Amino acid sequence: MQFIACSFDTHANAILDIFNEAIAHSTALYDYQPRTPESMIGWFKTKEAGRFPVIGVVNPDGQLLGFASYGTFRAWPAYKYSVEHSVYVHKDHRGRGLGEALLLRLINAAREQQYHAMVGGIDMSNAGSIALHQKLGFVHAGTIRQAGFKFGQWLDLGFHQLLLDTPADPMDG
């Protein structure tokens, strides 16, 4: 397997397939309808504009097995050192350590870009994702009870965060 920087031209369709499988079959995304191919244009443009990485892992044939990224946590200036991240692994490749490897690379990218707080919003029924985050030092920072409604039930959204030792000299403004 190889870790790469994902691009729209090469990976948008594979990322869309991973998103849409998660939308249809899990509470990893609080969406109801599959995303459209056109939605990926804006998604990649937002990542590019914010200089946010999209890290992928591919097999020797170039098939995308999973990806991880982060983006703006909240849109106000004082949150500039915080990002909200996500990690998705194709359903056929889960349980092989790919999520952990992707998240470790994402943590390193956040340090390199001088972020301080990484926040993951995780459905509280997603025991695998919670365990992965805890293994890598994330702590539960709070839960918004019944934040979403999907598959006929209320969903609790937990926030898990990792504080980094960066930036060296944070500044206002």
What is the tens place of the pLDDT at every residue in 10-46?
A: 999 999 999 999 999 999 999 999 999 999 999 999 9
115's tokens? 């972020």
Once rounded to an integer, what is the mean pLDDT over residues 66-76?
Answer: 97
Computed over every residue of the chain, the mean pLDDT equals 97
Q: Which CATH number fits domain 2-163: 3.40.50.300, 2.40.50.140, 3.40.630.30, 2.40.37.10?
A: 3.40.630.30
Any bridge partners for residue 118, and if so which? 83, 162
Confidence of residue 80 (pLDDT cuts 50, 70, 90): very high
For 65, the 3-state DSSP assignment is: strand
| pLDDT score of 32 | 97
Once rounded to an integer, what is the mean pLDDT over residues 126-133?
Answer: 97
Q: Which residues contact 143 (CB under 8 A, 6 or more apart)?
A: 124, 156, 157, 158, 159
